Amino acid sequence: MSDYSNVTVGILALQGDFERHAHQLEILGAKVVEVRVAEQLETIDGLIIPGGESTTMDILIDRFRLRTPLQTFGNTKPLWGTCAGMILLAKKIEDNQAGITPLGLLDIDVVRNGYGRQVHSFETPLPAKLGGTDVTLNATFIRAPRITRVGKNVKSLAYYEDSPVLVTERTIMASSFHTELDDDTTLMAYFLDKTLAARAQS
């Protein structure tokens, strides 16, 4: 495993499940910044947009004047969106009755709650290919978004029932599911490795 002690990762901490991501980062030895203002983006190597309530997060992103800074950050540095974070990263949200304005950083279309509402939440072992290595992730789907379109430059790293649920494009990554709810740090370590690689190339 790599040494992550010199990696600083921000977690967008306006709303949602940011504490669990912080816990995994601390297990792996990375530094954590809870991001609430744009100036904090200048101090981090990568950023996680956690699960939560995408409508509320969308409102708070504008209230805290973070929309343009987040888009600028995502064009140059690693960013991972989990569940609601995936929704916010997408190009388009289908049946967007809540009127969310996605950041448009990842060339995918999604539908909210594509795997059912809260009562339909489930956990499953999920095969994935990370860095050319086959792994199994402990994936939890909670009101998870379903990807309905994948752009030509987007790579799918994991599928559930033949639909992509873990995708990456450039230094952007998004997952429909949660892996931060327990101590399985496989996917977090993969994101940290991507962050280290991107920093080395900058």
Is residue 15 within 8 A of residue 52, CB to CB? The reply is yes
| Cα separation, 47 vs 134, whole angstroms | 25
What are 181-195's pLDDT values in tens digits? 988 999 999 999 999
Question: Domains of the chain by range and CATH?
Answer: 8-201 (3.40.50.880)
> What does the pLDDT read at residue 120?
64
> What does the pLDDT read at residue 92?
96
What are 47-92's pLDDT values in tens digits? 999 998 999 999 999 999 999 999 999 999 999 999 999 999 999 9
| Cα separation, 145 vs 132, whole angstroms | 25
Calculate ∠ Cα 97-100-106, nearest 5°.
Answer: 120
Banded pLDDT at 125 (limits 50, 70, 90): very high
What are 56-67's pLDDT values in tens digits? 999 999 999 999
The model's pTM: 0.94
Q: Beta-carbon neighbour count of residue 118 at 10 Å?
A: 8
Provide the H-helix boundaries in the chain. Answer: 18-27, 54-63, 67-74, 84-89, 186-201
Banded pLDDT at 147 (limits 50, 70, 90): very high
Is residue 84 within 8 A of residue 49, CB to CB? The reply is yes
Q: Decide if 83 is catalytic.
A: yes
What are 154-164's pLDDT values in tens digits? 999 999 999 99
Which residue among the candidates 19, 83, 94, 161 is catalytic per the annotation? 83
28 CA to centre of own chain: 18
Banded pLDDT at 113 (limits 50, 70, 90): confident
Closest CA to 141 of 84, 90, 189, 187: 84
Banded pLDDT at 14 (limits 50, 70, 90): very high
Q: Decide if 120 is catalytic.
A: no
